Structure 1
Amino acid sequence: MENKPFFSIIIPTLNEATTLPVLLKDLTNQTWKDVEILIVDANSEDKTNQKAESFRKYFAGLKIIISQQRNVAYQRNLGAKNAKADWIIFMDADNRIPPYFLQGVKYRLEALNPDILSTWIQAETSDTKDQAIATIVNLYIEMQKTTNKPSVLEAMMCFKKDVFLRLGGFETSRNWGEGGEILERALRKKFRFEVVRDPKFTYSLRRLRAQGTLKSTRTVARLELARLLSKRLPKQKLKFLYPMEGGAYFKQPTEKQVSRLRRLVQRLYRGTPDDREQPKHWFLDRLFGKKA
């Protein structure tokens, strides 16, 4: 009979060839190693799966599951259906964890006996702004955990597998707040949720860096307010406010791509004199420093 691992770690991926190996390396360094790892990949176009395959020598229980949907909630649910352990942990591919993280989570589960558990985050850097953001996130989650609308980062959620399946998994129609939504259902069914201050995981602020602090803050505030008021934003608006495109969303354009775009713009600009009178060329005039 095959041994059942203590944890099933489920990592949904889409074009995460850069970040996933870093998290997998952290997992190889854990003091508690009784785990299986399920990579649920949504047909990545980069080398995510090849990078994951290279870690099989470290994890006998590593599986790569191909999802036919590019939907992070669907991918997590698919991973849970294939998990062997009684405890499942959902992690994002851009997380970082210290060597004692799984040991610490196991200790908290045994001490507190929750049905669902999450942890505080720590900042990626020692930068004052990053530290402040981490503190605000932690305090907000702590403040909300005893309300009927708790908040959580889906980047790190631990469930009793049978509880997760009884809840029906994450709602796949959501682009935002699926963690808070499943917690609301769990609390209505009297399941127990705990947030612990230690161990902490490192939560990536790459979205904030890609969009800018002010824009990201406004977006999150707007989405969180809608969640607290139980308002559903139109799907297209959600996609615009909070695009879910995996690692590709955060990649900077290559110099080759920039050069190609520059040549295209220049070809457009070299239209006929009549063309240049059209309003569509106003932004090109501004781009090249010419008077409109």
Structure 2
Amino acid sequence: MLDSVFEAIEEWIRTLLTNMVDSNLTTMFADVNEKTGQIASQVGQTPQGWNGGIFSMIQNLSNTVILPIAGMIITFVLCYELISMLTEKNNMHDIDTWMFFKYFFKMMIAVYLVSHTFTITMAVFDMGQSVVNSAAGVISGETAIDISSMITEMDTVMETMEIGELVVLALETLLVSFCMRIMSIVITIICYGRMIEIYLYTSVAPIPFATMTNREWGQIGTNYFRGLFALAFQAFLMMVCVGIYGVLVATIQISDNMRTALFGVAAYTVLLCYTLLKTSSLSKQIFNAH
């Protein structure tokens, strides 16, 4: 009789620990699957599509606060350009008509760039969105971890484990689940942080645009354009990271070693977060933006 009681208690403990492990795994992978699945939709959106309210606020700030400053800068730049052009020609002794046509043409270009700042800036991100959407067609559907099959395999393995091993496994899955939840938060911060950086970057766009036509000051505008392209194509690098993560996770085999598989998924998720963080500096290096 005592044997049956102990067997019932052991079975109850085994069931409790098994359910705990299953619950930890379900929560853990559900969070990661959700966040990795959202990366494509997050990074594939343009600034006006991601949050229209923030975009309208940034555009209003740029037009009402930054644009007047850009107007003063472009006035100074054009005056400086005119003085330099006249003094370079032997102190106004070698002046020809073509110089003024050239100057007025550059002036029209400068005014056009400043007055169409947001249109040009958004065109860069529209191009980046097109690249990301094309990449999403190749990568989508490969990043999700099959939770149901994984839990089924783990339940089969846990049936052969002792109570002590189940206790250790339950604690390990609890720890890994907590770490994976943190990783999912980090992924959200990275995606949201990139979009906020884009809004901050575009809010001051008229100022560097005002310097584009001048030879000495034009480096400011050129570097700004490099930064725009770096931010736009950072989304593509993030999609590549997600695709690599999906391939790595697909190679994990639960039946071989449960703990190795468990910590392997966690390690790959940490690696995903690390590479997502590195995409910003890597994209800037590619486009020589600083």
Tell me, yes or no, whether TM beats 0.5: no
Name the structure where strand makes up a greater proportion of residues: 1
Name the structure where helix makes up a greater proportion of residues: 2
What band does the TM-score fall into relative to the shorter chain? under 0.3
**Larger Cα Rg: Structure 1 or Structure 2?**
2
TM-score using structure 1 length:
0.21
TM-score using structure 2 length:
0.21
Higher relative contact order at CA 8 Å, sep ≥6: structure 1 or structure 2?
2
